[in-house]
Structure formats: C-alpha cells, structure tokens
C-alpha cells in the first residue's frame, strides 16, 4: 500500500491492547525502538572519534556481514535480472545519500533532534502534503497538518540550542576537508549548527518519501523486503568504501580505546541497522495495514523513548559540563506536536450517514427518515483553495483591501527589522520589530472584522455579522486606552528620573516607520467616513377592526447616505495615527538628545503622545459602546423627533406607541413603530406614507404596525391581562417621553 491510499482506507485494526498477542508485539516494538535510540546516541559519540562517512561505512559493513549470511539474498529467491540489478544499485545510491545526510544531521543537531525529524514516517509526511494540497474529508487530518507544521516551526524558530560549538576548528580537528566544507556551508548560510542539521534532516526525509515508495515496489518484484534490504545494505557498503578510505586518508582518527570503539560500533550497527528492521517487519506482518501501523506507532514510540533517554543522558553527572544538545522548550513543543500529527494523520475517518436520519415510525409501523444537508458528509477544502478564496474576498472590498495592503507593508518592514536586528545584534531594532508586530495584530483584527461583516445572514445571526465592525472598533479603542495609560505612567516616572537613551539607529527606524505610517494615514483617512449605497427594507403589520386579519408587506428601495463613521476603520486609523505621532515624537526627541542632550524631551513627548491618544480614542470608545448598547444614533435623534411629530399630524393617525430606534452598525438604522389610527382610515396608505418619511432620514429597515381601536377591544376581551401600551398623542411633548419604552407584556399567557 502506498501513502496516497491512506486518505481512502478506513480499516485501522492494530491496537496495542486489542489482544495479548498485540500487546506482546507492542512491548517488543517498544524495546527495539528504545535500543534504536541508544544506537543513535552511540552514533553521536562515535562521530566525534572518526569521520562521519567512515563511521557510516563501518555501520554498513558490520550490518552486511550479519545480513548477507543470514538472509542469503543471492541464493534464495528468483534470479536477479539486469534490470532489477540496476534498480537495486540506484536504490543503494539513494540510500547512501539519505544516510550520509542523516549522520551529518546527528552530528549537527544532536541525537534527540535528529530522532524527532528523521524518524518521522515519510508516509505521514506524504499524507500531510496530500491533505494540504487536495483537501480531505476528515478534520483530524487537518489538525494533523497544523500540528506537523507547528512542530517544524517550533524546532527551527523556538529551539535555542545553547551548546552549539563555537570553536569548530578545535572540536573537529580530526575531520577531513569534506567535513569542513560541509560545516562552513551551513555556517555561511546564517543559521546555527543545530538548525542547519534540522534543515538537512527535513531534506533527507523528503528524499526518503520517494525512496520508501521505490523500495516497496521493488521489494514486490524481487521477492520480499528482507532480501532487498540486505542487498541495498551490501551495495551501500561497497559504494561507500572508496569515499571512506579517502576520508580516513585525509582526516585524523581519535579513538581512545579500540575495544570500546569496536563494542559500541557493533552495538550501534545491530540496534540501528539489523534489530530495528527485522523486529518492525515481524510485529506488523500480521496486521491488515502494516504501512499505516508502522507509520503511526513506530515514530510515536521513538519520540517518547528518545525523550526519556535524552532526559536521563543530558542530566547525568558526566554531561553537566559537556557539549550536549540539551532539551529546550522548542523540543518539548515539537515532541507534543509530532505525536499529535502521527496520531491524527493516520487516524480513520469514521463513516457518516450519507442518506437519511431515523426519526420514528409511521402509523402503519414503517420507519421514517429525514433527509437533509445536516446528515450528509461534508469534506474539508484544500488550504490553498481556502487561501485563494479568502484573498479574493479581501481584495473585493475597498476597506479590507486597504487594511490588507497596509498590513503587508507593515509585516514587510517588521521582517526587515527582525532580520537586520538579528544580523547586527541590535536589541533596539528587534524591540521595535516586536512593537510593529503588536500593531499588526490590530490590523489583523480589523481585517477579519471587515471580511466577517460582509458575511450573509444565517439562521442564528438573522441580521448578519455587520456588528463585528463595531465590536472590532470597541476592542481597538480599549487596546489604545491601555497603551496610552501605560505610556502615561512610564512617561511620568521617566520625567522625574530621565534614563540614558541610546540613539544608535533610532533615527533610521523612526524615519522608516514614519514613511510607512504616513502611507497608512493616506490609505485609511477616506475610509473613516461612512459612505453607503444600500437597500432599505421595511416591514409593516396591520390589524383591522372586524376580522383581525394580518397584512404583511415588504418594501425595498435604494438609498445613498453619508452616516456614522465605520467603527472598525476608525479604530484601525487611530492605531496608525498613534504610530505616526509616535514616530514624529521619536524623531523630535532623538534630535534634541543628540544635539542638546535634553533627556527629558523623550518622556515629555511620550506624555503628550499618551494624552493625544486618549483624546482621540475616547470618542470612538463612547460611540462603539453606545452602538453595542443599541442606543439611538445621535445624528438622527432630532430628525426622528420631527418625524414622529409629522406622523402624528397625518390624517387618520391618533397616536403611536412602542417606538424603537437603534443602530445595528454604521449607516444601518432600524425602526420599530406601532401606530394607532381611526377606524375609517386607510391603513395601507398611512403605512406607505410613514415608510417614505422614515426613509428620508436614512432608516435602513422599518417595521410599522398599524392598529385600530376595534383591535384593542377585541384583544382585551380575549386576554383581560393584556396591558395597552402607553400612547403618544397630539399635544404631548415628545422630547419628555420615553421613546423606546415598551410597556406591553406580550409574553403573558391568557386563559
């Protein structure tokens, strides 16, 4: 079975606790994998005494001397044709390349990190790549892909190996010119030894994916994997012989004890090259899916055993002062992520109902089923397709497009600061890079809010997701207030005791940041003013006198309005404004410190900056909080009172009640209104007139209920506990009346 078949196979029968036989196999597998871990640690020890290629040749030679007499590949099985011989030779050459890189990776990043990377099953990597590119019908595989990527990123970015050797010449003086060239290639690339080793091992695993696939196909042709493995090991030893002799001739050997060296060499060869292969084949040969079982359990056992052995190995007394590659937080996170990835990417996809869902029995005793989208199996989409669709959705709108391009500019500048800061070891540039990264988080939140606000309404969110913009503006305002508060406190402290400030590279960073922020100011300035073209929707509900019938009507009209500012874009704009002012004040304070030595200018500028931020963000906080509390839009209040007065003066209108006006988001106002009319009035004409008047003050959606006196008489007779709401009639001061009050207890139950 190939790795590509994992996405279609559902039989996952091997469990360590399924039977006593499975438990025995699993225990044997754990023992052998632990021995393999010991063998890899032995490789790390012996690589300090002899050349890496020479050590690999020794391992292959010892393994060949054991495998060839035991397996007898030339005497058993069908004869090897010339075509098969060529394929075996090619496979042996690829095996040499992979294992040379593997041994070099062990010497660079240590045995524990090499086990985490190289012992990961190539089949798991293949499933992850297929899931990433083609998508999958299982969410567990998506989680596995995410865990696998997080594991590699944490090992490269978060793993700080404090024991990287600084004096390569003295510690590797026995090595040959090839080793030094290999080392200097890694060193000149700008990465440390252990990270270069991790990258090499990742490259080796990618090659190993193709190697394993070719190995399984060729094993079927020549009569089994054991025969092929012994032949590949023999030919690999033959191909490595001239290279090993050359390495021994050009390099030096530092073997303190030949007896110990031979003993460790024999143990390492047996543990790594012989025991592991035969035991794994024996444990999984009776399993329905040996490739999958091996891909799941072998790496997980190796990871746990290696971590346990490394914990004891690196904390021993003999290694406290040695050059051991100690365990870091990045290694622990990688261990956890890789275990999750192994389990998730090899987990089965439980079959779901593809037809109906049983709901009960009919009167005649027949089963009843319901069919619907909720009971159909849904497949996850490709991540590449999801990214493409998300980018298209972002670029389709002006606001999200502005945020996206400014976010890209900010991230680019942030990346340049990080790279140059690490290159020059400048803490100031690295700190400013983290500051810009924090600003990017506000931009990301604004971008997400801008995209979500355009999502269509759903069953649970009947008004859509437009209020996410208001929520984003509110959160951004809170962030800015917290930032301004801490800047204010720090500025007061430094104003009384100005510290020494290093202005090295400060002017360059401030000017570059000012240029980026000015670009953002121009990009977002026009977006902070709301300008909408939208459909106005209205709904009316009338009660007539005799039959108590309900008439529903909906009207839609196109409107063009300039209304309240977009809270989301306003919050993003204030973030950019704060950064712009910060860059300006940094330039001013830097010039004053460099030319006049006025250290107090920096805290004074920070004090002014905090006050400016507070003064500009408080209106946004109040506005967004009021919108979330469903208040009446301030700019509409006076106009709405005149509209209500105009409604009262309509012919046939007696009073109104249950008035509600609130703002869902910017330029989206909603009105709910009950109007009481005389019995002889035409309720439809009155309703249309009211809708027309409400539309004139930019009411996006209106619900008007027209009521007649007979309706109240009838409802009072049917439900004596019904309380007639307070009515506003002509002559009552509207401004002193609770406009949004509701005195009607609609939830009361009538007997």
Among 11-20, 78-87, 595-604, name the one with the lowest average pLDDT. 11-20
User: Phi/psi at 279 (nearest 5 deg)?
Assistant: -70, -40
HSE, CB side, 13 Å, CA atoms: give it for residue 362.
Answer: 6
Pair 136, 154 in one domain: yes
Domain count, the chain: 3
Do 601 and 651 fall within a single domain?
no
- As a whole-number percent, the residues of the chain with pLDDT over 70 amount to 74
Residue 483 lies in a domain: yes
Listed in sequence order, the DSSP H helices in 270-328 are 276-284, 290-314
Q: Is residue 19 part of a domain?
A: no
Q: What is the CATH number of the domain that holds 709?
A: 3.30.70.1350
> Count of alpha carbons within 13 Å of 14, Cβ hemisphere only?
23
**Residue 575 and residue 648 in one domain:** no
Regarding whether 114 and 63 lie in a shared domain, the answer is: yes
**Rounded mean pLDDT of 694-722?**
81
Whether residues 590 and 465 share a domain: the answer is yes
* Chain mean pLDDT for the chain: 76
Q: Exposed, middle or buried, 40 (CB in 10 Å: 0-12/13-18/19+)?
A: buried
Under a CB-based contact definition with an 8 Å cutoff, are residues 548 and 714 in contact? yes
Residue 536 domain-assigned (yes or no):
no
Statement to judge: residues 132 and 258 lie in one domain: yes
Q: State whether 472 and 596 are in the same domain.
A: yes
Condensed to tens digits (0 to 9), the pLDDT of residues 144-161 reads 888 888 888 888 877 665
Residue 381 belongs to some domain of the structure: no
Query: Are residues 467 and 569 located together in one domain of the fold?
Result: yes
Q: Is the pLDDT of residue 219 over 60?
A: yes
> Taking a C-beta distance cutoff of 8 angstroms, is the pair 436, 576 a contact?
no
* 49 vs 509, higher pLDDT: 49
User: What's the whole-number mean pLDDT along residues 275-296?
Assistant: 75
Q: Domain for residue 612, yes or no?
A: yes
Same domain assignment for residues 621 and 591: yes
Q: What is the pLDDT of residue 429?
A: 63
Give 613-655 pLDDT, tens digit per residue.
Answer: 888 888 888 888 888 888 887 777 778 888 888 888 888 888 8
Supply the CATH number for residue 518's domain: 1.20.1510.10
- The C-alpha R_g of the chain, in whole angstroms, comes to 37
Is the same domain home to 661 and 525? no
Q: Which of 328, 332, 323 is nearest to 303 (CA)?
A: 332
- Find the range with the poorest average confidence among 266-275, 505-514, 524-533: 524-533
Taking residues 336-359, what's their average pLDDT? Answer: 70
In-domain check, residue 355: no
Q: 561 and 636 in contact (C-beta within 8 Å)?
A: no
pLDDT on residue 153: 85
Q: Mark whether 600 and 654 lie in a shared domain.
A: no
The last residue of one of the domains, among 580, 607, 628, is: 628
| Segment 547-564, tens digit of pLDDT | 333 434 444 443 444 445
Same domain for 584 and 703, yes or no, is: no
- Euclidean distance between CA atoms 173 and 178, whole angstroms: 12
Q: What is the pLDDT of residues 7-27, one digit of tens each?
A: 444 444 456 656 677 778 788
DSSP per-residue codes, 61-110: HHHHHHHHHHH-TTTSSSPPPHHHHHHHHHHHHHHHHHHHHHHHHHHHHH
In a domain, 384, yes or no: no
Q: Containing domain of residue 444, as a range?
A: 399-530+565-628
Q: What is the pLDDT of residue 628?
A: 86
Q: What is the pLDDT of residue 506?
A: 67
More confident residue, 504 or 209: 209
What would the mean pLDDT of 499-528 be, rounded to a whole number?
71
pLDDT of res. 179: 55
| pLDDT band of 39, cuts 50, 70, 90 | very high
* Res. 237 pLDDT band, cuts 50 70 90: very high
pLDDT of residue 269: 92
Task: Give the model's pLDDT for residue 8.
Answer: 40
Give the span between the Cα atoms of 28 and 38, in whole angstroms: 16
> Which residue is associated with the tokens 């300090």?
48
Over residues 186-196, the pLDDT tens digits come to 555 555 556 77
In a domain, 23, yes or no: no
pLDDT of residue 528: 52
């Amino acid at each position: 079975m190939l790795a590509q078949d994992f996405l279609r196979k559902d039989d996952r029968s091997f469990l360590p606790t399924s039977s006593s036989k499975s438990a025995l196999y699993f225990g044997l597998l754990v023992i052998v994998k632990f021995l393999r871990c010991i063998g890899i640690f032995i490789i790390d020890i012996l690589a300090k005494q002899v050349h890496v290629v020479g050590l690999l040749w020794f391992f292959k030679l010892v393994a060949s001397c054991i495998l060839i007499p035991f397996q007898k590949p030339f005497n058993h099985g069908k004869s090897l044709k010339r075509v098969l011989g060529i394929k075996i030779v090619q496979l042996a050459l690829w095996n040499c390349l992979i294992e040379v890189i593997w041994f070099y990776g062990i010497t660079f990043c240590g045995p524990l990190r090499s086990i985490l990377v190289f012992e990961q099953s190539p089949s798991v990597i293949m499933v992850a790549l297929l899931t990433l590119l083609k998508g999958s019908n299982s969410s567990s595989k998506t989680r596995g892909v995410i865990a696998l990527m997080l594991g590699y990123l944490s090992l490269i970015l978060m793993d700080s190996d404090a024991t990287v050797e600084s004096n390569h010449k003295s510690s590797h003086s026995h090595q040959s010119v090839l080793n030094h060239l290999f080392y200097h290639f890694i060193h000149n690339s700008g990465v440390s030894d252990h990270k270069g080793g991790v990258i090499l091992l990742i490259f080796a695993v990618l090659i190993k994916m193709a190697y394993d696939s070719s190995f399984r196909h060729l094993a079927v042709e020549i009569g089994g994997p054991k025969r092929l493995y012994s032949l590949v090991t023999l030919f690999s030893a033959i191909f490595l012989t001239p290279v090993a002799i050359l390495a021994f001739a050009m390099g030096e050997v530092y073997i303190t004890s030949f007896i110990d060296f031979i003993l460790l060499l024999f143990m390492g060869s047996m543990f790594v090259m012989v025991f592991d292969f035969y035991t794994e084949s024996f444990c999984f040969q009776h399993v329905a899916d040996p490739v999958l079982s091996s891909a799941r359990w072998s790496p997980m056992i190796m990871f746990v055993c290696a971590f346990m052995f490394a914990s004891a190995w690196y904390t021993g007394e003999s290694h406290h002062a040695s050059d051991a590659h100690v365990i870091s937080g990045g290694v622990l996170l990688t261990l956890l992520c890789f275990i999750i990835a192994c389990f998730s990417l090899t987990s089965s996809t439980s079959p779901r109902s593809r037809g109906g869902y049983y709901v009960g029995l009919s009167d005649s005793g027949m089963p009843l089923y319901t069919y619907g989208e909720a009971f159909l199996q849904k497949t996850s989409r490709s991540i590449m397709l999801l990214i493409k669709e998300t980018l298209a959705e972002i670029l389709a709108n002006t606001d999200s497009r502005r945020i996206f391009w400014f976010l890209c500019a900010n991230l680019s500048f942030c990346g340049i600061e990080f790279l140059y800061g690490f290159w020059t070891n400048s803490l100031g540039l690295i700190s400013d890079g983290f500051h810009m990264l924090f600003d990017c988080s506000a931009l990301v939140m604004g971008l997400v809010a801008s995209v979500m606000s355009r999502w269509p309404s759903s069953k649970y969110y009947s008004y859509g997701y437009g209020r996410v913009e208001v929520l984003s503006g509110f959160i951004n305002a809170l962030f800015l207030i917290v930032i301004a508060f801490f800047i204010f406190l720090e500025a007061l402290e430094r104003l009384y005791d100005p510290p020494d400030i290093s202005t090295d590279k400060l002017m360059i960073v401030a000017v570059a940041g000012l240029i980026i922020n000015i670009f953002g100011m121009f990009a977002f300035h026009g977006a902070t003013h709301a300008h909408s073209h939208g459909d106005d929707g209205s709904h009316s509900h009338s009660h007539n006198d005799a039959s108590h019938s309900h008439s529903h009507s909906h009207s839609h009209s196109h409107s063009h309005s300039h209304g309240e500012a977009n809270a989301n874009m306003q919050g993003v704009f204030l973030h950019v404004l704060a950064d712009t002012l910060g860059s300006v004040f940094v330039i001013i304070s830097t010039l004053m410190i460099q030319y006049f030595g006025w250290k107090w200018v920096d805290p004074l500028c920070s004090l002014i900056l905090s006050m400016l931020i507070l003064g500009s963000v408080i209106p946004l906080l109040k506005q967004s909080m009021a919108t979330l509390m469903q208040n009446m839009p301030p700019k509409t209040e006076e106009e709405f009172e005149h509209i209500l007065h105009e409604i009262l003066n309509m012919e046939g209108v007696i009073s109104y009640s249950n008035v509600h006006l609130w703002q869902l988001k910017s330029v989206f106002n909603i009105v709910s209104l009950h109007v009481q009319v005389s019995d002889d009035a035409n309720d439809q004409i009155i309703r249309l007139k009211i809708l027309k008047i409400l539309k004139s003050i930019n009411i996006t959606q209106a619900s008007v209920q027209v009521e007649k006196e007979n309706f109240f008489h009838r409802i009072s007779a049917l439900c004596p506990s019904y309380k007639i709401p307070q009515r506003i009639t002509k002559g009552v001061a509207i401004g002193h009346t609770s406009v949004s009050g509701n005195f009607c207890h609609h939830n009361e139950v009538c007997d």
